[in-house]
Structure 1
Amino acid sequence: MADFTGRAVLVTGATGGIGAATVRRLVADGATVYAGGRNVDGLAALADETGAHPVPFDLTSEDDVRDAVSGLPVDGVVNCGGFGGEIATPQDTDIAVFDKVISINARGSLLVIKHVAPGMIQRGRGGAIVNVSSQASLVALPGHISYGSSKAAVDNITRVSALELGPHNIRVNSVNPTVVMTEMSASHWGHPEVGPPFLAQMPLGRWATEDEIAGPIVFLLSDDAAMITGVCLPIDGGYTCR
């Protein structure tokens, strides 16, 4: 169990499964948590449950992001806000959907880093940023042209940010989870012709849980990972080792 007493962490996408699990884990470990997202009612419920501080904003609006995060006195950031988009081939993809996926997943993560990093640098305490990417950035998955492309961009944002922010003792890493069987995931992975063949290729052969993603996120935020930066960490049951 890491000790985050005296530290503050911003978690975007905080009302989603992985985001909420991360908020709960950080609060349990003593952190002051700022829970970001668009779902005002969901943020209020999470705040009532955990004591996290709700910070509503829209990841697609730079003004919103700037106003919400630039003044937060945080030592850590978890970019967990995301959008799945569609299941489509390159030739069939809806470019409007592609643009939305890129805007939320990649551009949104970059905007948060852009507007939170200056304050972290100015405070001089260092810190850590963890971007929630996907196994879809590491291997090609059928139908994932939009989502996989957005997460590949997130991984590059991670590496470049690690390079640029390292001199300020700010570490930047990604986690690349396999499927967590949320309601959103079930719309694709829950189909009998999709899920079982996928799991058959995974050494551990099961879906991940939210807590199994939150744990490595919190590790990368912690002092136990003090020499780890620029890493894209698969949390995928071995799927990408094939």
Structure 2
Amino acid sequence: MTSMDRSREFAGKTVLITGAGKGIGHATALLMAARGARVIAASRTEADLVALKRGIGCETLCVDLADAHEAREAARRAQPVDLLVNNAGTVELQPFLDTTVDAFDSTMAVNVRAALIVAQECARNMIARGTGGAIVNVSSISAQIGLPLHASYCASKAALDGLTRVMAVELGEHGIRVNAINPVVTLTPMAVKAWSDPDKAAPMRARIPLRRFAEPDEVARTIAYLLGEDASMINGVSFAVDGGFLAG
């Protein structure tokens, strides 16, 4: 596909992106709009949504996805959509022995349960319309490795990868493809929070063959690929965007 074709790759398609206010979600919203999609951006931060709407003219949903009822109602209001990016995520850094039940539950609520709920509503509508569709769940290399202080986060991303595989198996017959992406540390506000200590970041960066962390735009382009027709036979995978980290 030529660059000219890509500018209209998603024309006529509606994409719902959670966690669209910052980081990977923000970069994905900009990219999908540039490629012709109608974007519905969801975030819990109204100011981020106002700025995004000003920039790309998207529709917005201000929602706290940690609230299961609120997540479901927002997903229902967004319908009909053709594409879904479950990007919203949270992290709370705690040593394993000090990991609290509240931190674990809140992390699972946003990183896994919200993805389940939003995808259920989108998939039900896709099936009712008989249109098929594509879903990308934004996971992490943390689904496959253990990182100190990340007990809740690693558990949530491993669960999200497992959920992705079940969704792919059950929804495939309806023409709905479901994949996960597993980025290495990506330079988002949340990553800065987790990796701001140079003594912590340097060893992690050294384990990446490309010797750098990912940029949000690089992850966004991978998401767009998995949503698009070029990936029409890719279903149920956990797609590493890690500069070779997991190959080491």
Do both proteins adopt the same fold according to a TM-score greater than 0.5, normalized to the shorter chain?
Answer: yes
Partner of 1:144: 150
User: 1: distance between equivalents of 2:116 and 2:137?
Assistant: 10
Q: How far does residue 182 in structure 1 lie from its aligned partner after superposition?
A: 2.8
Partner of 1:115: 121
Q: Does the 8 Å contact 1:65/1:115 carry over to 2?
A: no
Partner of 2:83: 76
Call closer, same or farther: CA 1:62–1:227 in 2, change over 3 Å: same
1:53 aligned onto 2:59: yes
1:234 aligned onto 2:235: no
Q: Does the 8 Å contact 2:89/2:110 carry over to 1?
A: yes
Q: Which has the higher helix share?
A: 2
User: 2: distance between equivalents of 1:47 and 1:4?
Assistant: 19
1:97 aligned onto 2:103: yes
Between the two proteins, the alignment pairs up a number of residues equal to 241
- Range that drifts further, 179-188 or 120-129: 179-188
1:29 aligned onto 2:29: no
1:6 aligned onto 2:12: yes
2:165 to 155, 159, 169: 159
TM-score w.r.t. length of structure 2: 0.94
User: 1: distance between equivalents of 2:246 and 2:222?
Assistant: 17
Call closer, same or farther: CA 1:183–1:113 in 2, change over 3 Å: closer
Q: CA RMSD in A?
A: 1.2
User: 2: distance between equivalents of 1:183 and 1:10?
Assistant: 21
User: 2: distance between equivalents of 1:188 and 1:123?
Assistant: 41
Amino acid in structure 2 at the alignment position of 1:80: N
Q: How far does residue 181 in structure 1 lie from its aligned partner after superposition?
A: 2.4
Q: Does the 8 Å contact 2:22/2:48 carry over to 1?
A: no
User: 2: distance between equivalents of 1:56 and 1:123?
Assistant: 26
Residue by residue over 1:132-177, the C-alpha shift from the partner in whole angstroms, topping out at 9 and shown as x without a partner, is 0001001111221110000001101100000110010000000011
1:221 aligned onto 2:227: yes
Amino acid in structure 2 at the alignment position of 1:169: G
Q: Does the 8 Å contact 2:161/2:180 carry over to 1?
A: yes
User: What runs of 5+ residues in structure 1 fail to find an aligned partner?
Assistant: none
User: 1: distance between equivalents of 2:36 and 2:201?
Assistant: 37
Amino acid in structure 1 at the alignment position of 2:109: S
Amino acid in structure 1 at the alignment position of 2:199: E
Call closer, same or farther: CA 1:187–1:44 in 2, change over 3 Å: closer
Q: How far does residue 42 in structure 1 lie from its aligned partner after superposition?
A: 1.2
Q: How far does residue 82 in structure 1 lie from its aligned partner after superposition?
A: 0.6
Identity among equivalent pairs (%): 43
1:178 aligned onto 2:184: yes
User: 2: distance between equivalents of 1:84 and 1:182?
Assistant: 12
Residue by residue over 1:167-207, the C-alpha shift from the partner in whole angstroms, topping out at 9 and shown as x without a partner, is 10000000011112233322332212111111111100101
Q: Does the 8 Å contact 1:188/1:194 carry over to 2?
A: no
User: 1: distance between equivalents of 2:185 and 2:219?
Assistant: 10
User: 2: distance between equivalents of 1:201 and 1:105?
Assistant: 25
Amino acid in structure 1 at the alignment position of 2:89: G
Q: How far does residue 90 in structure 1 lie from its aligned partner after superposition?
A: 2.0
